[in-house]
Amino acid sequence: MTLSPARADHRPVYIRIAETLRARILSGWYEGRIDGELPLAREWKVSRRTIQQALEVLVAEGLLVRRHGLGTFVNPKGVETRYRAITSITEAVAGQGLTPEFRVLASCPEAAGAEAAAFFGLGDGAKVYRHRRLVSAGGRALAVVDTILNLALLEGLDLSRLDTSLYGALRAGFNRTVVAAEDRYIPALAGDDIAPLLGIAAGSAIFLALRRARDQTGAAIELSRISMLPVALDISIRHVGFPSATVAPEARQWAYTVGFGPFGT
């Protein structure tokens, strides 16, 4: 793989190499030990020192660990720690010590609507994958999750029997990891379609979460609409900046977490 000259990119070469290696790590390209410095240097036609700089970025991020005499390896705990902030509703429920339960309401390809076609960059007549399910815990309905997925990235997708985390399934089955999401959380009223599923009266107050998400390659992969019982939100945002202008924005750490809950009370 070589760096594309099609678009002007004035970032240091080692930063661009680190970006590509980061995407490989998240996609599952490397299961353990990554390629050595010399093969990587030949691949990108750069010096060994440039590769070392790229690897140092990822070691500092916690995505890689060096083992003396053995090489450089993916750090699973580092991957989980850095990207755990982008969670699905399943992970939010499980994070509160509850055991999520599911009932699939719809799971099949369908014609792309205008919003999905625009976000995913699809042409006329394209299809998307719609997955709609009820999430419960302790016998109590908590949320209706209506998700549209970019089928162009997920050939052969079938979630009709999914009983685990959606994000876990996308990563395990397609090497797609959600690493960027735009979320909106707004109050709403339960309509006639949502209210019976949540066991509440039509017109009752609910919370609506809207998500537009991208995977590790930057591709648009998910549109979700989550209708949930009213819960308190705890939103935390952490930015870690660097005073040095030589550190590229891509190498700076940031994280946010959204706490839904407590569910089931």
Does a structural domain hold residue 257? no
Domain of residue 193, CATH code: 3.40.1410.10
pLDDT at 229: 86
Q: Is residue 222 domain-shared with residue 133, that is, in the same domain?
A: yes
Q: How far apart are CA 74 and CA 79, in angstroms?
A: 8
Read off the pTM: 0.64
Same domain, 108 and 96: yes
Number of structural domains (the chain) is: 2
Same domain for 197 and 142? yes
Question: What residue numbers bound the domain in which 173 lies?
Answer: 84-230
What pLDDT was estimated at residue 68? 87
Residue count of the chain: 265
End-to-end alpha-carbon separation of the chain, Å?
52
Domain-terminating residue out of 82, 115, 134:
82
The string of DSSP letters for 136-188 reads EETTEEEEEEEEEE-GGGSTT---TT--S-HHHHHHHHH---EEEEEEEEEEE
Query: Do 209 and 89 sit in the same domain of this protein?
Result: yes
Is residue 7 one of the residues assigned to a domain?
no
CATH number for the domain spanning 58: value is 1.10.10.10
Look at residues 82, 113, 142 and tell me which one is the last residue of a structural domain. Answer: 82
DSSP secondary structure of 109-144:
EEE--HHHHHHHT--TT-EEEEEEEEEEETTEEEEE
Same domain, 23 and 92: no
Look at residue 231 in the predicted model and tell me its pLDDT.
66
Of the residues 36, 59, 82, the one at which a domain ends: 82
CA distances to 36, 51, 69, 159 from 39, in Å = 6, 10, 17, 39
Instruction: Encode the chain (265 residues) as per-residue pLDDT tens digits.
Output: 333 333 345 678 898 888 788 877 776 677 789 989 999 999 889 999 999 999 999 999 888 999 988 999 998 877 766 655 456 777 677 766 778 899 999 999 999 999 999 999 999 999 999 999 999 988 889 999 999 999 999 999 999 999 888 887 887 788 788 877 888 888 899 999 999 999 999 999 998 989 999 887 788 999 999 998 876 655 554 444 444 444 444 444 445 555 555 554 5
Q: How far apart are CA 179 and CA 81, in angstroms?
A: 12
Could you tell me if residue 146 is inside a domain? yes
180 and 164 within one domain:
yes
40/160 same-domain check? no
Domain contains 204: yes
Same domain, 33 and 111: no
